[in-house]
Amino acid sequence: MRFGVNYTPSTGWFYSWLEPSWDDVRRDFDAIAALGLDHVRIFPLWPLLQPNRALIREQALDDVRTTVELAGRAGLSSAVDVIQGHLSSFDFLPSWMSTWHRRSMFTDTDAVEAQARLVEALHEALTGAPGFFALTMGNELNQFADQPHPSPMAAQPEDVTAWLGALLDAVPPGSPVARLHAEYDAAWYLDGHPFLPTHASRMGDMTAIHSWIFNGTAQHYGGMSQESLRHAEYLIELSRAFAVQPDRPIWLQEIGAPLNCLEEHQAADFCEHTVRHAADTAHLWGVTWWCSHDVSRSLADFPELEHTLGLFDEDGKPKPIGHRFASVAAEFAARRAPVPARSVAVEIPVDENDVPLRRGDLAPGGGVFTRWMELARSGDRPALVTSRHASDPTTLAGRGVLSVVQPAPGGQSVYAPVSES
């Protein structure tokens, strides 16, 4: 199992891409490696990479390559997100996507082609860089497609399928680099959202899970409740229910300890319990914590929690949560025993296309979520299966499921879609 961190530069946050300080980057990577972590996820900004639809800046590509190389020299492997997109409550769209030139990134043919070219260009620029192992198409880009975004770009599920296919297919066949995409949890929990569970669990080489408890889970149940501590575990199992390949790798790519839901003294315990629960799932590739460094308070307009999410403070000193994550990472990175099968599963009602009949049932407070948590609290290790798989003995046997139970009656979603991460 792999353990790493989403890299937020200690100096200048992601604005540092305007004028990188390589000494600062080296210092950050050396500190991350000193914790015993093995990889970083890197976020170049879309407007700097592709300021014009027909222009991809070579210098910007070179800067990303240098960052990956510096990570490699520190002993860290690197995953790179292509389209940013959205980070820490800020949108980063190039000018050719907005105002007078407003178009949909999901449905405009020229825009989709331009994004695919950027995928190709980044892949080419990074090929052969030490430790480069994955391209994520972008960070939580589904937040642009629906409410609560203030100016959503409307799309239908079939548009999302075509858009994801175009970007994923821009990575050349036979590349050793993993291709994946990453959504925030509206794909699982929000009825009518154009990104579907099947998109997350079936397209690309891995499933990315982003788990945040400020989505109504912590507000309703409490930040240190079982529902909050097991939220990532639940999402991982939820993703497995919709996968076609039973051994598909799952990457807990983004998870953090938000202090708008937790007390500061609880953060390290939340981290440890959450990671332990997540590690009790099959085919988990790894855990990547959000984030490396606290956002400096010299910067304006960030939500308060963004200044507190790091494993390191803004001066580069490891925080208690950083030491705790490192300790748990060292324990599980050395684990070799396989995770036992989960013998009881909660059924998810779906239609003939494997779309949940009510995604609100899957959300915190919903009947599926409630039944799963009831079983988990009683000592079971519950799985999840769709109603189509629940009647297929071969699928159940392949996953080790011996019994299937129904969702809890009368559940009511408490999900509050947010895009703060």
Would you report the helix, strand and coil content of the chain in percent, each value rounded to 5?
A: 40, 15, 45
Can you list the alpha helix ranges (DSSP code H) found in 39-194?
Answer: 46-49, 58-73, 109-126, 157-168, 186-189
User: Is the four-CA dihedral 215, 216, 219, 221 of positive or negative sign?
Assistant: negative
Full set of structural domains in the chain with CATH: 2-333 (3.20.20.80), 344-405 (no CATH)
Question: Of 262, 285, 259, 218, whose CA–CA distance to 41 is shortest?
Answer: 285
pLDDT, tens digit, 9 for 90 and up, residues 286-329: 999 999 999 999 999 999 999 999 999 999 999 999 999 999 99
Report d(CA 199, CA 160) in Å as an integer. Answer: 8
Predicted local distance difference test score (pLDDT) of residue 421? 42
Which residues in the chain come in under a pLDDT of 70? Answer: 419-421
Q: Is pTM beyond 0.85 here? A: yes
Instruction: Please answer whether residues 257 and 311 qualify as being in contact, where contact means their C-beta atoms are separated by less than 8 angstroms.
Output: no
Burial environment of residue 186 by CB neighbours within 10 A (0 to 12, 13 to 18, 19 or more): buried
The Cα-based distances of 403 to 57, 347, 400 in angstroms read 55, 10, 9
End-to-end CA distance of the chain: 24
Sheet with 383-386, strands from edge to edge, namely 383-386, 344-348, 403-405
Residue type, 340: P
Report d(CA 369, CA 361) in Å as an integer. Answer: 7
pLDDT, tens digit, 9 for 90 and up, residues 356-370: 999 999 999 999 999
Report d(CA 230, CA 224) in Å as an integer. Answer: 10
